[in-house]
Amino acid sequence: MQFDYLLRKVFFAVITLIVVIVFNFFLFRILPGDPVKLLFRNPRLTREAQELIRVQFGLDKPVWLNIERLSAGDIPGALDSQFTAYIHNLLQGKLGISFTNRQDVGEVLSERVWRTVLLVFSGELLAIVMGVVVGLVAAWKRGTAIDSAALFIGLLTWALPTFFLGIILLILARGILPTGGMVTPGLAEEGTLEYWIDVGRHLILPSLTLAVVSASGYMLIMRSSVVEVLSEAYILTAKAKGLSNARILFSHALKNAMLPMITIIALTLGYVVGGAIQVETVFSWPGIGRLIYDSVAKQDYPVLQGAFLLLAVSVILANLTADILYSVFDPRVKVT
């Protein structure tokens, strides 16, 4: 059953990936305008030169199926289309070139991706710690003022748009913490300790913003999950054995209540990625999110396409990982 479950999850992830890739291809084909003109933005480019570039990029080929060659009886030739070229390039890691500076999209993304990873990881870590601690306390003290306060703050942070929380923190922390970028220019050589301390200082506000927004969800789930676990018979048994409250809470309740957290973290990752775009925009954090914001403004579609694909694929893979982890930690899982 275990194996069956995993196989189904992997199968679903693969299908999802394929749908995203196909969608990503077609979405950017409905764009109005000629990509050659968008790419070079040069009115002096002659018609012949434009045609040459079009052939070079394979834009003279049909989008989906090469009907012309299919009807001529050339069956493998039917696949000679923009779509197969796209898949072929994708498998080689070629994501096209940027409209604005003609840099390789793959290069642009790989240069920036670790910064977003750093932001999301530190934000998530902080969010999990905050969510677990507050949720545990709220559940233990349920029905009291502490519980109501925790619920109210959870409610408030959910209603708050991520970017607006960022803006508020940005105003409040002005002069105390760096509010934009990732490093202070000219402060230290890359790779030195001083450099990383500087990056850390720049990271505080963006990751705090991201953390507060995701923490409310984790807090609420942790709270309800602990409340549920606390009503289980084994908690009563532990109490009857004379264990201290702290021991029961941390080694009995916490462990079991943590299980749903794995799935929650994976499922909310999509929201976190959306939050990261907003946070990076507010704090000019030079990651994928800020890249998306800039590309939207500059109508740099290849970069946008690559960035979206990268985000979607990461979230799909993270979900698959969570499903696998969940079945490792909780062998009861069969079908969801």
Binding site for another protein (CB under 8 A): 12, 15-16, 19-20, 27-28, 30-31, 151, 154-156, 158-164, 167-168, 170-171, 216-217, 220-221, 223-225, 227, 260, 263-264, 267-271, 273-275, 277-278, 281-282, 292-293, 295-297, 299, 301, 304-305, 307-308, 311-312, 315-316, 319, 335-336
| Cα–Cα distance for residue pair 135/149, rounded to 1 Å | 11
Rounded (to 5) percent helix, strand, coil in the chain: 75, 0, 25
- Taking the complex as a whole, the smallest distance from the CB of residue 320 to another protein amounts, in Å, to 9
Closest CB to another protein among 75 and 171?
Answer: 171
What is the distance between the terminal CA atoms of the chain, rounded to a whole angstrom? 13
- Taking the complex as a whole, the smallest distance from the CB of residue 239 to another protein amounts, in Å, to 22
Other beta carbons less than 10 A from residue 95's beta carbon: 23
- Taking the complex as a whole, the smallest distance from the CB of residue 197 to another protein amounts, in Å, to 26
- Taking the complex as a whole, the smallest distance from the CB of residue 141 to another protein amounts, in Å, to 13
- Taking the complex as a whole, the smallest distance from the CB of residue 154 to another protein amounts, in Å, to 7
| Cα–Cα distance for residue pair 94/107, rounded to 1 Å | 9
Closest CB to another protein among 69 and 290?
Answer: 290
Strand partners, 104: 97
Closest CB to another protein among 66 and 82?
Answer: 82
Closest CB to another protein among 58 and 260?
Answer: 260
Closest CB to another protein among 140 and 308?
Answer: 308
- Taking the complex as a whole, the smallest distance from the CB of residue 50 to another protein amounts, in Å, to 22
Strand partners, 97: 104
Closest CB to another protein among 83 and 154?
Answer: 154
| Cα–Cα distance for residue pair 177/198, rounded to 1 Å | 10
| Cα–Cα distance for residue pair 305/27, rounded to 1 Å | 9
Cα→Cα distances 280→160, 166, 180, 207, Å = 17, 9, 9, 10
Closest CB to another protein among 66 and 225?
Answer: 225
- Taking the complex as a whole, the smallest distance from the CB of residue 292 to another protein amounts, in Å, to 7
| Cα–Cα distance for residue pair 27/21, rounded to 1 Å | 10
Burial of 297 (0-12, 13-18, 19+ CB in 10 A): exposed
